Chains A and B, each alone.
Chain A
């Protein structure tokens, strides 16, 4: 029997909102696919494009960046900076021919456990037809 492709997602979640949101999903016993590896960062504004590229390089099929809603940032404006930077990363990845579905950004607050599960479910569904990401995978 052929094995079904299970996409691997790296999710960079900010400590104050998105990570708490994913926690809420957990303690509320909501179900979502186990394909996601969450990495907590202090703020979405602290996510360097290097993190994203190295996640792809180390074999991630999709990368999710998630932060607080605009106006809710613990550090007042970190997510606004993130929004600009991530826009540039996304445009550049699309420009060199990475499928736009592979890199996504979302706003998830600490109260939106349900939204987080939905995002992951949709993300996995979008990645399944694309197959494994081999374009940026390290070939050293």
Chain B
């Protein structure tokens, strides 16, 4: 089991040496059991750091913000920033490296192995406990979580409240890191595409009804886009205002700007938006589950990305974020890619 003291010690030492500008980690939220992201700049602040099953966030997202901030500064601090990553998050860094969005020397990766457990899913937790009573959730022994409520401590098997993505996870150990904390352990509970099984047996019409019901709920708040570590395009296709309007831009040019997706949250536009997003994340999504977590209307967005991941893996033998040197899924091909469907 990863000891919190090890994480603190490591963070202290790299801050002392001045290796990093700051460290992005997790800290406790006041009066709430979920953790929040922490930005640690001073050595004494490292005591705030925590490591528990509520560290669900993918902190790799902040590398994008850091890059943009650096570009705006005249004399930026070129030291790397430290980031605490789980197995899934480390693959996100790999994808960003593969796409040459960030440079390896700009990030100091503190890998934390999930070992045999993972992080919780709030939805599952809510079914079993009254959220208001929960004070704290900790890792216990033998793949258990210890939940502290007002009444006392309860031990619960991790699988009961473990996030679906953690159950399906194959990378409980970070694949890229400067320092690794925790042990490399094989896990027994991985069934990689378990959540997609229920779609295999249902008919086309049932699939449509399911997605129609789910995607019609979308209010187009773009929270999924804002939280995604891979959504870093300067111009998103979903923003129809993204035409650079200069003094000499004519009205005709503005009118002729192609709008692939309209802003209105109606069925067809929601489908366009989510399908385009799923396709844009094909071979890039590392299944950190953040889009689904932040969705205010609980659309199961993970299924779309998981489906793409499944096809990439089964048809092309490609898994996102394992090797930053390899070409990306859609910028590569093999002579014997499957083509049975082509007439």
Chain A neighbourhood of B315, CB < 8 A: 87
Query: Contact size class for A?
Result: 35 or more
Segment of B25-33, B55-63, B145-153, B303-311 in the binding face? B303-311
Q: Which of A54, A70, A97 contacts B204 (CB 8 A)?
A: A97
Contact with A along B229-273 (1 / 0, CB 8 A): 000000001000000000000000000000010101011110110
Chain A neighbourhood of B205, CB < 8 A: 97
Contact with A along B332-343 (1 / 0, CB 8 A): 110101110111
Nearest CB in chain A: distance from B215 CB, A: 8
Asked if B199 is at the interface of the complex by the 8 Å CB criterion, the answer is yes
- CB contacts under 8 Å to B, within A84-108, are 84-85, 87-100, 104-107
Q: Whole-angstrom distance between the alpha carbons of A88 and B338 in the complex? A: 11
Whether B262 contacts A140 by the Cβ 8 Å rule is: yes
Q: A50-B260, A97-B206 are in contact. Are A77 and B311 (CB under 8 A)?
A: no
Chain B residue nearest to A95 in the complex (CB): B307
Q: Whole-angstrom distance between the alpha carbons of A53 and B262 in the complex? A: 13
Q: Which of B199, B208, B268 contacts A140 (CB 8 A)?
A: B268
Contact with B along A40-53 (1 / 0, CB 8 A): 00000000011001
Segment of B40-48, B107-115, B274-282 in the binding face? B274-282
Nearest CB in chain B: distance from A102 CB, A: 10
Q: A136-B268, A139-B267 are in contact. Are A94 and B204 (CB under 8 A)?
A: yes
Q: A50-B237, A81-B333, A140-B262 are in contact. Are A107 and B342 (CB under 8 A)?
A: yes
Q: Which of B237, B279, B332, B339 contacts A89 (CB 8 A)?
A: B279
Q: Whole-angstrom distance between the alpha carbons of A137 and B268 in the complex? A: 6
Q: Whole-angstrom distance between the alpha carbons of A102 and B50 in the complex? A: 52
Among A97, A119, A122, A137, find the residue whose CB has the most chain B CB atoms closer than 10 A: A97
Among A53, A83, A84, A136, find the residue whose CB has the most chain B CB atoms closer than 10 A: A84
Whether B307 contacts A92 by the Cβ 8 Å rule is: yes
Contact with A along B296-318 (1 / 0, CB 8 A): 00000000100110011001100
Contact with A along B217-236 (1 / 0, CB 8 A): 00000000000000000000
Whether B266 contacts A139 by the Cβ 8 Å rule is: yes
Chain A residue nearest to B334 in the complex (CB): A80
